[in-house]
Amino acid sequence: MSPDREASGGTSNPATPGERLRLDAETAGAFLRKLGERLDYNINIMDREGVIIASRDPARVGTYHAAARHLLESGSREERISPGDHLPEGTKPGVNLPLEVRGEVLGVVGVTGDPQVVGDLAQAVKTSVESMIELESMREAVLNRRTRKSSLMAYLLYEEAVPESAVLALAGKLGYDPAIERAALLLRLPPGKGPEDALAQAKARGAHDAQDIASALPDGSLLVFRRLGTERVEAPEERVPGILAAYRGEVQAYCGAFSRAAGIPKVTCFAGSPQGDFSRYRGSYRQALWLASRFPVPPGDGPVLILDHLDDYFLARTPRIVLDDALASIAARAPAELRRTLAPTLKALEASGFNAKEAAARLGVHRNTLSARLARLSSFLGCDPRADAGALSLSRSMAAYLKLRGGTVQDAQEHL
């Protein structure tokens, strides 16, 4: 035996946790069968213990390869066995090389024959086997990530009693920081645009952050738990306005960037409330679903945000018996004209900052007509909703309730 040895470079870049590199016997065997269609030389692949796990000579599979074991123990970069050496039983001339991927030695590949003849071939086979291991590792990592991602989304959206520790552990393996605040964005894409393709384009162009948790839905929509960078404002009187403005701005910015990156003119977006706890993501998602059902044709060009429609959402989610107990009697007493005009009048007033001239213009009526409507409402309530918080709250609730009931007094009276 005449070994030519070179010191090994060590194991400086092992596989990352969760992406363990493996020298799989079945895959190695398939590789050699395919390679054997073009080569006449015998090739052996050995594991870390020196056992042959794949060979073009089936009789050698499962046997011990002393030279391979010697190569692994010595840390050499190559071992050549010449035909004239005094060879141990079962050892044949050839070249043995370590299989090293990402700095980790996984086994040995050997080519039988005169080292002067098969040396270059052995190097080529070594490179091919290492590439195969690397590709298989990457494929398994992708499959593992997809499986974990699917499990995490199932926990977040559908499972009611999953231990928090299990969710946090799974999120950690996927690299998601649980301390980051996110909001559910339900994205409806134009016909012909698949969610996976759109997401891949958004990722490639930097519109989708590594901390965004996304999943394609069966109906062709895309669900994204979008990372938010809302800054916390210390002053209590500024806290809510600051957060609300930041929330609107970030959702609008993401939807715009996503549309441009995915190459679509517009993405229809329904946004749930910001959440800082994985256990509440389900609620944000359900809010986005409710918005989508509430606004099949979204108002305006921008995203539809739950924080702009909380009154309607709370009323819609409140048990009907509770709403009837609170509002049926009052709604039944309202004059027909008031029931008909209440909702659009309030909407125009609030949209204009309670500026009567602007509100009348939004309604397309004369300012005197709006004044008459407000006088009718103030007379019914006994106070002006523009100056009384309780009157304004009751007016909003009654308008939403009448909308749920179809606005008919008969419907309201049935529940008295």
CATH fold of 25-141: Beta-Lactamase (3.30.450)
Euclidean distance between CA atoms 6 and 77, whole angstroms: 5
Give the tens place of pLDDT for each residue, 85-113. 676 666 788 899 999 888 888 889 999 88
**Domain limits of the chain?**
25-141, 182-308, 319-413
The pLDDT score that the predictor gives to residue 143 is 59
Looking at residue 383, its amino acid is C
What 3-state class would DSSP assign to 50? coil
The phi, psi pair for 309, rounded to 5°, reads: -140, 35
The pLDDT score that the predictor gives to residue 306 is 92
Structure-block tokens of residue 391: 């009157």
Euclidean distance between CA atoms 416 and 407, whole angstroms: 15
Give the tens place of pLDDT for each residue, 195-249. 999 999 999 999 998 899 999 988 899 999 999 974 444 444 544 446 778 888 9
Distance of CA 313 to the CA centre of its chain: 26
Count CB atoms within 10 A of the CB of residue 18: 11
Give the tens place of pLDDT for each residue, 362-410. 999 999 999 999 999 999 999 888 888 888 888 888 888 888 777 444 4
Q: Are 183 and 272 in contact (CB under 8 A)?
A: yes
Euclidean distance between CA atoms 228 and 250, whole angstroms: 7
- The pTM is what? 0.59
**Residue 167's pLDDT band (cuts 50, 70, 90):** confident
The pLDDT score that the predictor gives to residue 282 is 92
In 3D space, the residue among 227, 1, 231, 199 whose CA is nearest the CA of residue 96 turns out to be 1
What 3-state class would DSSP assign to 87? coil
Strands 94-101 and 104-112: antiparallel
224, β-bridge pairs: 185, 214
CATH class of 182-308: alpha beta
In 3D space, the residue among 184, 216, 16, 213 whose CA is nearest the CA of residue 104 turns out to be 16
Residue 188 has pLDDT above 50, yes or no: yes
**How far apart, in Å, are the Cα atoms of 309 and each of 20, 57, 187, 305?**
48, 72, 18, 7
- Could you tell me the end-to-end alpha-carbon distance of the chain, in angstroms, rounded to an integer? 102
Planar angle of CA 244, 296, 394, nearest 5 degrees: 55
| Residue the block writes with tokens 């309604």 | 363
Planar angle of CA 17, 23, 27, nearest 5 degrees: 120
Structure-block tokens of residue 199: 């997401």
